[in-house]
Chains A and B, each alone.
Chain A
Amino acid sequence: KNQVEQSPQSLIILEGKNCTLQCNYTVSPFSNLRWYKQDTGRGPVSLTIMTFSENTKSNGRYTATLDADTKQSSLHITASQLSDSASYICVVSGTGGFKTIFGAGTRLFVKA
């Protein structure tokens, strides 16, 4: 069964600190993995995308890594800001027709 599992479910950190969010998946055959940021009351917005041949991708203070062998990805946030408070959703797509699975997300709270 194709699944995407994210951990932790929620996380509280102090402003300025770093954090890492995890995503494990079983989608096969694999095509690509995206990380989305979803602010409260808004739709998700794409942060990064990685295909099987890429193992790291950065977008400002956000750095995503991918290990296609172990089927794991992480999203590292550097020097967190209050505006980073949001849900972060891992989305994995397979090949051969529309097969896109959304993780349940990690809810990040950044405190001053």
Chain B
Amino acid sequence: DAEITQSPRHKITETGRQVTLACHQTWNHNNMFWYRQDLGHGLRLIHYSYGVQDTNKGEVSDGYSVSRSNTEDLPLTLESAASSQTSVYFCASSERRDQLRSYNEQFFGPGTRLTVL
């Protein structure tokens, strides 16, 4: 069955370290997204990609970067981890981009809980 996976599921790191969170989907979806989820907030978009070599900033992109070298993977890198980046991170994918509408359902991974000490 097609799926979307994230690794690691839990990560503890120290301030200033570089951290990379993996996201892998086997849906063959063009679109992939990274969100963070914090108490009292809705999911907030960090970065997204509409296809290989395409990346775009979301509303909370500072301190994060992504790269898309193939259809299946969109790794999220925290260049220098900060305590404010302690959060639960979700990766999602959807079928294709429609410029006028956003009908396409996003399928979410299980999340990565990141703690920055």
A residues adjacent to B (C-beta < 8 A): 4, 31-32, 34, 41-46, 49, 51, 89, 93-105
Chain B residues with CB under 8 A of A44: 43, 90, 108
Q: Give 13 CB contacts A-B under 8 Å.
A: A32-B102, A41-B110, A42-B110, A43-B90, A43-B92, A45-B108, A46-B106, A49-B105, A94-B102, A100-B45, A102-B43, A103-B42, A105-B42
Q: How far is the CA of A64 from the CA of B96 in the complex (A)?
A: 25
* A34-B109 contact in complex given A102-B44, A104-B40, A105-B42, C-beta closer than 8 Å: no
Q: How far is the CA of A86 from the CA of B75 in the complex (A)?
A: 28
Q: How far is the CA of A30 from the CA of B109 in the complex (A)?
A: 27
Closest partner residue, chain A, to B103 (CB atom) = A32
Closest partner residue, chain A, to B102 (CB atom) = A93
Q: Smallest Cβ distance from B20 to chain A, in angstroms?
A: 19
B residues adjacent to A (C-beta < 8 A): 4, 35, 40-45, 48, 56, 90, 92, 97, 99-103, 105-106, 108-111
* Pairwise interchain contact B101-A93, C-beta atoms closer than 8 A: yes
What would 7 more interface pairs be, CB under 8 Å, given A46-B105, A94-B102?
A51-B103, A95-B101, A95-B102, A96-B100, A98-B48, A102-B44, A104-B40
Partner of B102, one of A4, A31, A42, A104: A31
Q: Smallest Cβ distance from B5 to chain A, in angstroms?
A: 11
Top 10 A-B pairs ranked by shortest CB distance? A43-B108, A102-B42, A93-B102, A102-B43, A104-B42, A46-B105, A31-B101, A103-B42, A44-B108, A43-B109
* Pairwise interchain contact A42-B111, C-beta atoms closer than 8 A: yes
Q: How far is the CA of A4 from the CA of B41 in the complex (A)?
A: 11
